[in-house]
Each structure stands twice: as structure tokens, then as C-alpha cells.
Structure 1
């Protein structure tokens, strides 16, 4: 299950991608209001995304946030890894934070690992191939279910 923070991050990115003018910053208060995200929490989320090069912020009267990367280049997998950490269901399957399971005798013969390796592969495949842009298409009902939970 993904965290509430990850769901908010994905919804905020979709809101930024839907912005009528791509080069115009969107006020954080507008995103918070339209997406029903607590403003203080959204500020933390957008700051994390800014540090990872996903969004940028602008100050001043026309200030706010906008996407630094194209919506096609921002995948669900990337966002989830930034916000929630590794996607793998077991530490021994993580691509970014591998750790051998303490109680495992042999990864090669572990039945549990074999099943969850398939789960992890399918999950990564979907998340790393689904972009924020995919949520903008007219036939995005299936993708929207991922965000809405």
C-alpha cells in the first residue's frame, strides 16, 4: 500500500500537469484547495520533489510551483521511490536498497522470494511505465484508480 504522502504527491503532480499554461507557476494554495491536500503537508511534499528535480518553485507575485520535467518523463515509480522509498515487497528484492533477509538460508531456493520477485517485477513494470502524462489522457480511468486509491 502506498502512503498518503505518495498519493498527495501524485495528485499534486497531475494537478500541475493539467495547468492550462505549462510555463506558469501554480499557487500552492490552489493545488491544496483543488486537490484537498493540507497545505503544510503539500509544502513538504513539493519541497521533496523540488530537491529531486521534479518541480521548481518561483517567488513573487507570479510565484508558485511548476513541473521541471515533462509529464511524460515523470513516472509513478520515480515518485513513489522519492516519497516512500523502495518499491520492493521484500528487502532482498529491492533495486535501490537491497538487504539480505536475516532469516533466509538461501535466496536462490527461497519460495517466498520467488513469488514476491514476480510480484515486484510486475509492479515495477507498471509503475515505471506509467507517467503523469498517462493520467491526462481521456482514457485514464484505470490510472486514476491508482491515485484515488
Structure 2
């Protein structure tokens, strides 16, 4: 289940993606439009800034804007920044691998085999779906489970 923080992060990035490329959006404006507590949004935007997703401008007309084009920001990237690894088991994580406690042989682990398929399906969707994809008009082709190989 997505945390509220992750949902807010995605809403904020999508709101910034809707702005014109050089348009700076104020935190208070995003918070109000997206119904996000302002202080919480400030923390989220700082996390996103430290990871190179957004940039900030100071001053009276300051605020935030995307650092990268929306077609280069994936849902998987945002989830990993906010939530950490996507894998359901530590032995399947690409970014924080750790052998599961009590595991003697990963290659014969039935649980790992099933959840490896789950992890690959999640990655296939989250790492190929960009912020720009979700802004596409309804009816445009989007990634679906039936279009994912395997």
C-alpha cells in the first residue's frame, strides 16, 4: 500500500509537470491545489530536491519546478526516493539486497520464486511509466499488464 507521503509526492510532481517548463510553483499553491499539508509538502519537496527531481528558487517569486523533463521521471524513481526499495523481499532488492534470515539457498526458495515474479511485474510498470504518461489524455495507449512481456 502506498503511504500518504508517497501519494503526496506523486501529486506534487504531477502538479509541477503540468506547469510550463520555466514556471515556478509556490509550495503554498501546490499544497492548496493538491490538498497537501504545507509543512509536509515542504519536507517532501526537499527530499525530491536532494535527489535531483526538483529545483527551488528563493525569494518573493520563488518556489519549485521540475529539474528533469516529466518523460524522464518514472513512478518507480519517486517511489524509491520516498519509500525505499520496491522489492517485497530483501533478497530481491536491486538497491538494498540482503539475504533473508534463515535462507540457505535462494535458488530453490519457493517464496522467492513467486515474489520475484511480483517484483518484476511491479518494476516493469513502475520503471517504464513516466509522469508524462499519466498526463497523457484519456484514451491514449498506456502500459498495461497485458503489454508487459513474460
- Provide the rounded CA distance (Å) in 1 between the counterparts of 2:88 and 2:58: 40
**Structure 2: distance between partners of 1:7 and 1:128:** 17
Q: 1:97, CA displacement in angstroms?
A: 0.1
Q: Helix, strand or coil: the match of 2:98?
A: coil
Task: Name 1:77's counterpart in structure 2.
Answer: 76
Gaps of 5+ in 1: 144-149
Q: How many residues align?
A: 142
* 1:56 correspondence with 2:55: yes
Distance 1:105 1:64 in 2: 51
Corresponding position of 1:12: 12
Q: 1:118: which partner in 2?
A: 117
1:2 is aligned to: 2
Aligned to 1:146: none
* Pairing 1:106–2:105 present: yes
Partner of 1:24, secondary structure, is: coil
Tell me: higher relative CO, structure 1 or 2? Use CA pairs within 8 A at least 6 residues apart.
1
CA contact (8 A) 1:134 1:140 kept: no
1:142 CA drift (Å) = 10
**CA deviation after TM superposition for structure 1 residue 18, in Å:** 0.7
Q: CA deviation at 1:140?
A: 7.2
Alignment partner, residue 147 of structure 2: none
Q: Which residue does 1:147 correspond to in 2?
A: none
CA distance in 1, matches of 2:140, 2:29: 24
Q: Per-residue deviation at 1:84?
A: 0.5
* Aligned residue number for residue 90 of structure 2: 91
Q: Which runs of 4+ in 1 moved over 4 A?
A: 140-143
2:41 is matched with 42
5+ residue gaps, structure 2, are: 143-150
The 2-side partners of 1:137 and 1:24 are apart by 20
Secondary structure, in 3 states, of the residue corresponding to 1:108? helix
Name the CA shift for 1:87/1:18 in 2 (closer, same or farther; >3 Å). Answer: same
Query: 1:104-130 CA distances to partner (integer Å, 9 max, x unpaired)?
Result: 121000000000000000000100000
